[in-house]
Structure 1
Amino acid sequence: MRNLESIEQFEQLKKEGKHLFVFSADWCPDCRFADMFLPEVESKFKDYIFIHVDRDEYIDLCQQLDIFGIPSFIAFNNGTELGRFVSKDRKTQEEIETFISGLK
């Protein structure tokens, strides 16, 4: 999984191809729980490029996108938001895979 490097990069990536942005933070126990299986999820959905977004580093972006709980996921395809899995709850591997499978 690549790390987001700038707001400009976010704007560029969301417009080009299929990207899944994973909003997380180092201090978040639910995010660390998801870290255990995200590589496997990423390997199952090769048509998406997974981008890690550090919530603390990009708090303004999180506010702009109404992301107030982490971990959260937003998928884009060529500038169109395909879906979001945003909540403050811990997410299981099955829930994340179901979310991604349901994207059109």
Structure 2
Amino acid sequence: MGNCVAVQKADNDDQDDAMIDLSNRNVHIITTKEIWDQKISEAMQDGKMVVANFTASWCAPCRLIAPFFGGLSDKFTSLMFLMVDVDELADFSSSWDIQATPTFYFLRDGEKIDKLVGANRHELEKKIVKFSGLIF
């Protein structure tokens, strides 16, 4: 499903790693549509904005930005961070019109308000800062 989009060169060239383990981070791994609906509902109840990362295990730029995404999730706890593997949830991902990975959607009250395609760390952090309301 889709293409990989790299925007910047990685800090290291180890591209054979499996999907980065984010289990100790503030990232919720979405494995079913029901879990997605539950997390969106939780975010709405808590007044949190959602950052959804549509990714793929075979996508090198996705693997490279995953630790950065995890770090942002730890830093910006006022937001909810979700990760969806486009191959595991192909029909669901198609409904979001994912054409390339990684694709990040920013949601408020379950509605799309912004989108970022590609592994651009600077733009991802810039949007997260903007939507978190934090100013550095």
TM-score, normalised relative to structure 2? 0.65
2:107 maps to 1:76: yes
- Alpha-carbon separation, structure 2, partners of 1:79 and 1:72: 17
> How far is the alpha carbon of 1:24 from its aligned partner?
0.7
- Alpha-carbon separation, structure 2, partners of 1:15 and 1:69: 26
Give ranges in structure 1 of 5+ residues lacking alignment: none
TM-score, normalised relative to structure 1? 0.82
> How far is the alpha carbon of 1:25 from its aligned partner?
1.1
The size of the alignment, in residue pairs, is 101
> How far is the alpha carbon of 1:68 from its aligned partner?
1.2
- Alpha-carbon separation, structure 1, partners of 2:124 and 2:99: 18
2:39 maps to 1:8: no
- Alpha-carbon separation, structure 1, partners of 2:42 and 2:113: 13
> Alignment identity in percent?
26
- Alpha-carbon separation, structure 1, partners of 2:114 and 2:41: 15
Give ranges in structure 2 of 5+ residues lacking alignment: 1-26, 44-48
Match of 1:35, as an amino acid?
A
> How far is the alpha carbon of 1:52 from its aligned partner?
1.1
Q: Say if 1:76 and 1:15 are closer, same or farther in 2 by CA, change over 3 A.
A: farther
Match of 2:57, as an amino acid?
D
Equivalence for 1:29: 60
Equivalence for 1:100: 128
- Alpha-carbon separation, structure 2, partners of 1:97 and 1:52: 16
